[in-house]
Amino acid sequence: MTRKTVSLKDISNACGVSVATVSKALNDHHDIGEDTKEHIRKVAEELGYRPNAAAQALKTNKTYNIGVLFVDEAHSGLTHDYFSHVLDSFKTTAEENGYDITFINSSKRNENSTYLSHALYRGFDGVVIACVDFYDPQVYELVSSSIPVVTIDHMFDNCMSVQSDNIKGMKEMLHYIYDCGHRKIAYIHAHENTSVTQGRLACFYNTLQELNVSVPDEYVVTAPYRNTDKTYEASMKLLNLENPPTCIICPDDFSSFGCINAAREMGLRIPEDISVAGYDGIELARRISPRLTTVVQDTKKLGSLAAEKLIALINNPKGTLIEHLLVEGQLDEGESVSKL
Amino acid sequence: MTRKTVSLKDISNACGVSVATVSKALNDHHDIGEDTKEHIRKVAEELGYRPNAAAQALKTNKTYNIGVLFVDEAHSGLTHDYFSHVLDSFKTTAEENGYDITFINSSKRNENSTYLSHALYRGFDGVVIACVDFYDPQVYELVSSSIPVVTIDHMFDNCMSVQSDNIKGMKEMLHYIYDCGHRKIAYIHAHENTSVTQGRLACFYNTLQELNVSVPDEYVVTAPYRNTDKTYEASMKLLNLENPPTCIICPDDFSSFGCINAAREMGLRIPEDISVAGYDGIELARRISPRLTTVVQDTKKLGSLAAEKLIALINNPKGTLIEHLLVEGQLDEGESVSKL
DNA sequence: ATATTCAACTTAAACGATTAAGTAAAACGG
DNA sequence: CCGTTTTACTTAATCGTTTAAGTTGAATAT
């Protein structure tokens, strides 16, 4: 039904004025009479006029569209609990400011299409990057372009970033675990190819050293993020040590289910026999029993801040200074770490 | 760095041919010499030419962009476990076909902006709708427009739809539960304002009637989807009945954690003392112990099928007949329903 | 040899908006 | 009353593409 789109020309015909006048009237320029404006606005409304984004973008070089690069190996960041919340918050703030969100991809359709070329093709006003392999040259190409970019949970020095304060969060959790009396603390961490992992791991060693807690090499093992199976295996390894830890920190909340299963399978009660901690603060962590001890990352703040900063950058590419912002998480003590 | 975008004009200058020739060469028209084409392509490559989406869209009236309407009350469908997987699959298939994905919203920025006006503004080639209030007049306006639309998990008769076969899934699960020996089966369902809920609920009654299982009124209670707290409360109500059920079916996997918690709190073992079933097949359902009995919805198929059908519709709006497709799920027997 | 077809281009208009520059009439100033 | 400013428009160019409709010279047909 409602296909025939109404253009400025239709309004200009209906009102007996030029197209330019209509355009200016609708954009509230000063050199159009108040009564004319009113009339034009009314007619535009009646005809159901909507501007044409493509035409506007072509002329003004502004699309009011932000490119989102969220690429997991397996999936897009979409199905990722933590990042989907960040993205949701980003989207909300962006939309409040009149921006839409489109996913960036390097579609295999155009064989030599890159993230950057896709972004240029769509003419994104800005780009947000999260949940990708930040060592991908395509990502660096995009970051180094003249398109305003904000990265989430990774820092390039020529590019604005918003990061969850993993150091602070990890430290706080470790202090809590320490204060609960634990001295045999194990850490299952992901591969060290992200700054998040690197930060947390360094913090793990540093904090425990400060606390004078020694960490046997065999207490530090690896498992990918969100991989319950691998975390299960890693946990088994830890629990079967001749001198097993009293507390295991998992890569994230989701993977901690692997740890929990391993413990249960060995007949260990949580937290009486073995303490378990996660990281992220996904909703489910609060819904299981015992409630998971974790650090709740402030996804809402991360997303909205990233959007605000990106929009500031878009509005003033030269004048906005590049910041590297940290967003604090909060320890949720939960019930899965025992007080010894 | 890489800002100055290269246009057809730049190529035409570099090659000493007209802009039209360049355009046709790059679009592989037949009336351009093979060697000229080759040369133009080479120069385009060298200069790093990328077409301008806005200009193309303006001229051809095709954006290669699909609008996605995924709106939860609380959030967008992004943080929704089931829908985020559907969306992810949709996105993948769309991108394989050269389409990008942009979220539709009725931003409060333009006071009288609707979903439809937003879609028209962006010139989406098509629209996919899921996870919304389908009784919202704005949704109906969009569906009734001349823009190709596919709805997911809801059926309008003038609009293509892809639905998860909830009837079949529910029926299969009920038969399984019945075959396990259960005759006192309770159902916590969501509010009946979606066809999904309506379908499952009707199926619940019908199937049990066929099986000659009577359902006391107090066995059917409500709790919203994905709400562990409300499902906890509902479960408590059920478990405290003087004649409690032996099996509780929850609105979905996520909310079943509320039920599980309620049971555990009452000192009931799962599944020995009380059986619990969910719906959806979220990954975590397989990761907890006991593994949750549930119906795994085929999110991959749902998403890709929706994308395929929408693209077919886009390519041939008149000629494509409107289908209402069902995608079967699969029972995952899990371990949370006991064999009596 | 001349008419006709064909291949390989170019010209020019168009898509729907924005905006600098131009213009005509009204308002103002002295 | 005439010159200047102001107001309220219009004209026309432009953004980067696409494409229908020429144009030209060479190949083919008769």
Whether B136 and B281 share a structural domain: no
Contact present, B63 and A63 (Cβ < 8 Å): no
Instruction: Tell me whether residue B336 is in a domain.
Output: no
User: Residue A242 has what pLDDT?
Assistant: 96
- Per the prediction, chain B carries an average pLDDT of 94
Q: Using a CB cutoff of 8 Å and minimum separation of 24, what contacts does A5-14 make?
A: A5/A50, A5/A52, A5/B120, A6/A44, A6/A47, A6/A48, A6/A49, A6/A50, A7/A49, A7/A52, A8/A49, A10/A47, A10/A49, A11/A40, A11/A43, A11/A44, A11/A47, A11/A49, A14/A43, A14/A47
User: Residue B131 has what pLDDT?
Assistant: 86
User: Residue A106 has what pLDDT?
Assistant: 83
Domain range holding A221? Answer: 166-297
User: Residue A251 has what pLDDT?
Assistant: 97
Q: A37 CA, C17 C1': separation in Å?
A: 18
Footprint of strand C on the protein (CB under 7 A): A 5, 7-9, 19-20, 23-24, 26-27, 31, 49-52, 55-56, 58-60; B 16-21, 24, 31-36, 55, 58-59
Whether A290 and A197 share a structural domain: yes
Nucleic acid strand D within 7 Å of A6 CB: no
Q: Crossing angle of helices B19-26/B34-47, nearest 10°?
A: 90
Q: Which residues of A in 210-269 have their CB below 7 Å from strand D's atoms?
A: none
| Cβ <8 Å between A78 and B97 | no
Band (B79; pLDDT cuts 50, 70, 90): confident
Sheet harboring A126-130: ordered strands across? A324-327, A160-164, A149-152, A126-130, A65-70, A100-103, B100-103, B65-70, B126-130, B149-152, B160-164, B324-327
Structure tokens at B111: 């006071």
d(CA A165, CA A146): 27
Low-confidence ranges of chain A (pLDDT < 50): 1-3
Task: Identify which of A172, A200, A65, A166 has the alpha carbon closest to the alpha carbon of residue A119.
Answer: A65
Instruction: Tell me whether residue B57 is in a domain.
Output: no
Residues of A in contact with B1 (CB under 8 A): 144-146
| Cβ <8 Å between B84 and A84 | yes
The model's pTM: 0.94
User: Residue A1 has what pLDDT?
Assistant: 41
d(CA A311, CA A166): 25
| Cβ <8 Å between A1 and B257 | no
Task: Kindly report the bases of strand D lying within 7 A of a protein C-beta atom.
Answer: 7-12, 14-20, 22
Sheet harboring B185-189: ordered strands across? B220-222, B185-189, B247-249, B275-277
Residues of A in contact with B288 (CB under 8 A): 257, 261, 288
Question: Measured between CB atoms, does A47 come within 8 Å of chain B?
Answer: no
**Which residues, including other chains, have CB under 8 Å from residue B293's CB and lie 6 or more apart?**
B173, B176, B177, B275, B276, B277, B278, B332, B333, B334, B335, B336, B337
Instruction: Tell me whether residue B193 is in a domain.
Output: yes
Instruction: Tell me whether residue B59 is in a domain.
Output: no
Instruction: Tell me whether residue A337 is in a domain.
Output: no
Domains contained in chain A, number: 3
| Interface mutation vs chain A, best among B122, B145, B225, B256, most A CBs within 10 Å | B122
| Cβ <8 Å between A257 and B121 | no
Residue nearest to nucleotide C18 (CA to C1'): A59
Whether B288 and B315 share a structural domain: no
**Which residues, including other chains, have CB under 8 Å from residue A43's CB and lie 6 or more apart?**
A11, A14, A15
Structure tokens at B152: 């997911």
Structure tokens at A20: 């330019």
Whether B74 and B221 share a structural domain: no
Whether B196 and B235 share a structural domain: yes
Q: What residue has token string 């707290």? A: B229
Count Cβ atoms below 10 Å from residue A128 Cβ, excluding itself.
29
How many contacts does A have with B, using Cβ atoms within 8 A? 155
Instruction: Tell me whether residue B269 is in a domain.
Output: yes
Whether B199 and B291 share a structural domain: yes
User: How many angstroms away from the CA of B140 is the closest CA of chain A?
Assistant: 12
Whether A292 and A171 share a structural domain: yes
d(CA A163, CA A281): 16
Task: Identify which of A165, A156, A101 has the alpha carbon closest to the alpha carbon of residue A328.
Answer: A165
CA distances, A145 to each of A59, A119, B52 (Å):
22, 10, 17
Instruction: Tell me whether residue B325 is in a domain.
Output: yes
Residue nearest to nucleotide C12 (CA to C1'): B20
φ, ψ of residue A249 to 5 degrees: the values are -100, 125
Instruction: Name residue A24's amino acid.
Output: K
Question: Measured between CB atoms, does B109 come within 8 Å of chain A?
Answer: yes
Q: What is the CATH number of the domain that holds B45?
A: 1.10.260.40
d(CA A28, CA A227): 55
Helix residue ranges per DSSP H, chain B: 8-15, 19-26, 34-47, 53-60, 81-96, 115-122, 137-144, 166-179, 195-210, 228-239, 253-265, 299-315
User: Residue A79 has what pLDDT?
Assistant: 86
| Residue A185, strand partner residues | A247
By CA distance, what is B122's nearest residue in A?
A: A53
> Over the range B290-312, which residues count as b (16 or more CB within 10 Å of their CB) and which as e?
bebbbbbbbbbbbbbbbbbbbbb
| Cβ <8 Å between A101 and B96 | no
Whether B173 and B117 share a structural domain: no
**DSSP code string of B237-291:** HHHTSSS--SEEE-SSHHHHHHHHHHHHHTT--TTTT-EEE-SB--GGGGTSSSP
**Which residues, including other chains, have CB under 8 Å from residue A188's CB and lie 6 or more apart?**
A221, A222, A223, A231, A234, A235, A238, A248, A249, A250, A251, A255, A259
| Cβ <8 Å between B284 and A284 | yes
Residues of B in contact with A103 (CB under 8 A): 91, 95, 100-101
Question: Measured between CB atoms, does A63 come within 8 Å of chain B?
Answer: yes
User: Residue A98 has what pLDDT?
Assistant: 94
The least confident of A4-8, A25-29, B39-43, B136-140 is A4-8
Structure tokens at B8: 């057809």
User: Residue B339 has what pLDDT?
Assistant: 96
Whether B273 and B311 share a structural domain: no
**What are the pLDDT digits (tens) for A262-298?**
999 999 999 999 999 999 999 999 988 899 999 999 9
Nucleic acid strand D within 7 Å of B27 CB: yes
Residue A219 gets which letter from DSSP? G
Q: Crossing angle of helices B228-239/B253-265, nearest 10°?
A: 50
Q: What residue has token string 């159901």? A: A48
Question: Measured between CB atoms, does B102 come within 8 Å of chain A?
Answer: yes
Task: Identify which of A131, A166, A132, A127 has the alpha carbon closest to the alpha carbon of residue A150.
Answer: A127
Question: Measured between CB atoms, does B121 come within 8 Å of chain A?
Answer: yes
> Over the range A57-87, which residues count as b (16 or more CB within 10 Å of their CB) and which as e?
bbeeeebbbbbbbbbbeebbbbbbbbbbbbb
Mean pLDDT of all residues in B170-197: 96
3-state secondary structure of B157: coil
User: Residue A310 has what pLDDT?
Assistant: 98
| Cβ <8 Å between B107 and A95 | yes
Q: What is the CATH number of the domain that holds A275?
A: 3.40.50.2300
Phi-psi sector, A51: left (phi>0), alpha (psi -120 to 50), beta: beta
Nucleic acid strand D within 7 Å of B57 CB: no
Mean pLDDT of all residues in B159-177: 98
User: How many angstroms away from the CA of A246 is the closest CA of chain B?
Assistant: 22
By CA distance, what is B290's nearest residue in A?
A: A261
φ, ψ of residue B151 to 5 degrees: the values are -105, 150
φ, ψ of residue A160 to 5 degrees: the values are -60, 145
Whether A127 and A44 share a structural domain: no
Instruction: Name residue B22's amino acid.
Output: V
Band (B5; pLDDT cuts 50, 70, 90): confident
Instruction: Tell me whether residue A3 is in a domain.
Output: no
Whether A274 and A201 share a structural domain: yes
CA distances, B277 to each of A31, B180, B199, B292 (Å):
68, 13, 17, 6
Q: B188 CA, D11 C1': separation in Å?
A: 69
Band (B109; pLDDT cuts 50, 70, 90): low
Whether B159 and B172 share a structural domain: no
d(CA A63, CA A324): 26
Q: B9 CA, D10 C1': separation in Å?
A: 30
User: Residue B2 has what pLDDT?
Assistant: 43
| Cβ <8 Å between B58 and A63 | no
Chain B segment 176-215 residues within 8 A of A by beta carbon are none
Cis before A271? omega within 30:
yes
**What are the pLDDT digits (tens) for B282-328?**
999 998 889 999 999 999 999 999 999 999 999 999 888 999 999 99
d(CA B76, CA A263): 36
User: How many angstroms away from the CA of A228 is the closest CA of chain B?
Assistant: 7
Residue nearest to nucleotide D16 (CA to C1'): B55
| Interface mutation vs chain A, best among B91, B103, B118, B314, most A CBs within 10 Å | B103
| Cβ <8 Å between A85 and B97 | no
User: Residue A75 has what pLDDT?
Assistant: 63
